[in-house]
Amino acid sequence: MPYKFFKKIFIVFLMSLFVLIPAQENSGISMEIRNESNAGKANIIDLILVLKNEGSNPFKGKVEINTPAGFRNISGSKIDVDLLPGNNLFLPVKILVSNNAGSGDTQMVFNLTDQKNTPVSKKEIAYHVAENNSMRLVTESPVIYMNKANDSIEVRTRVSNLGNRKQNITVVFKIPEASQENIFVEKKGSIGVQKDSVLTFRFMPSGAMLKSPQFTVTVAGFREPDKEIFGSTSVSVQN
């Protein structure tokens, strides 16, 4: 009976020892993030990871860096860590914010783990991506030639979303004289971040247009819902 009792105590002691060892190995390990970014470089985030080993055991592990869509870690997503007792480690991290990063507030997450992937420290740093609503409007053919009187005229415009948020737009085509009731024709579209869209307008030239050696179709682009103009261009139609 005493033998079985002491055997159980010994097994419980060993189990407790195995549980405590990882905590003892990682005790005294800390991680800090310093933001060293330059205001003149809006698309580059410069960080310094400061790792400290204030414990009595060497530490080996890695830092995993998770960034949101549109962010690219130039330094790599994983950094190996080898830290002796009493030492500090300074790791530079450079993150590039691309043009397709969505506007608004976001988070970058830094996870420090040991060789067994046991979490040791987790830090987050906030970053605000300023809104960019830049747009561009161009015609694919600035000059169109009419060869036959019964042919329709096709005006093709390309709208580019150069910003970091989806844009709803209206493109207005104006012809100097038309057989249709209205001389203003609207085409609507929705353009994703860093995407292009081609809007096409076709019309039959009137008798007055056919008699003219040339006439001009003007095109204007408006950002919805406030009808804010973002670009204008024109197409010369020649007989």
**First vs last Cα of the chain: how many Å apart?**
113
Whether the predicted pLDDT of 43 surpasses 50 = yes
In which domain, by residue range, is 210 found?
135-238
62 and 114 together in one domain: yes
Distance, in Å, from the CA atom of 195 to the CA atom of 144, rounded to the nearest integer, reads: 26
87 and 38 together in one domain: yes
125 and 185 together in one domain: no
Q: Which whole number is the average pLDDT over 66-83?
A: 91
148 and 107 together in one domain: no
Whether the predicted pLDDT of 238 surpasses 50 = yes
145 occurs within a structural domain: yes
Whether the predicted pLDDT of 150 surpasses 90 = no
Beta strand 59-66 pairing with 104-114: antiparallel
Distance, in Å, from the CA atom of 118 to the CA atom of 120, rounded to the nearest integer, reads: 6
How do residues 107-128 score in pLDDT, each as one tens digit?
999 999 999 999 999 999 999 9
123 and 37 together in one domain: yes
Split at pLDDT 50, 70, 90, the class of 179 is low
Question: Which of 129, 159, 177 finishes a domain?
Answer: 129
Question: Which of 99, 129, 159 finishes a domain?
Answer: 129
CATH of the domain at 157: 2.60.40.1710
83 and 125 together in one domain: yes
58 and 121 together in one domain: yes
The reported pLDDT for the residue numbered 76 is: 85
Question: Which of 100, 129, 158 finishes a domain?
Answer: 129
Q: Which whole number is the average pLDDT over 24-48?
A: 82
Q: Which whole number is the average pLDDT over 206-225?
A: 88
Q: Which whole number is the average pLDDT over 101-109?
A: 91
19 occurs within a structural domain: no
* Structure-model confidence comparison of residues 79 and 99, the more confident one: 79
Q: Which whole number is the average pLDDT over 182-193?
A: 88
65 and 153 together in one domain: no
143 and 212 together in one domain: yes
1 occurs within a structural domain: no
125 and 44 together in one domain: yes
82 occurs within a structural domain: yes
The alpha helices in the chain, defined as continuous H runs, are 2-26, 207-211
Number of domains in the chain: 2
9 occurs within a structural domain: no
Q: Please state whether the predicted TM-score (pTM) of the whole model is above 0.75.
A: no
CATH of the domain at 122: 2.60.40.10
50 occurs within a structural domain: yes
116 and 141 together in one domain: no
Max Cα distance, the chain (Å): 118
* Structure-model confidence comparison of residues 121 and 14, the more confident one: 121
Among candidates 193, 162, 197, which has minimal Cα distance to 69? 193
Q: Which whole number is the average pLDDT over 193-209?
A: 88
116 and 153 together in one domain: no
Distance, in Å, from the CA atom of 157 to the CA atom of 150, rounded to the nearest integer, reads: 23
The reported pLDDT for the residue numbered 206 is: 81
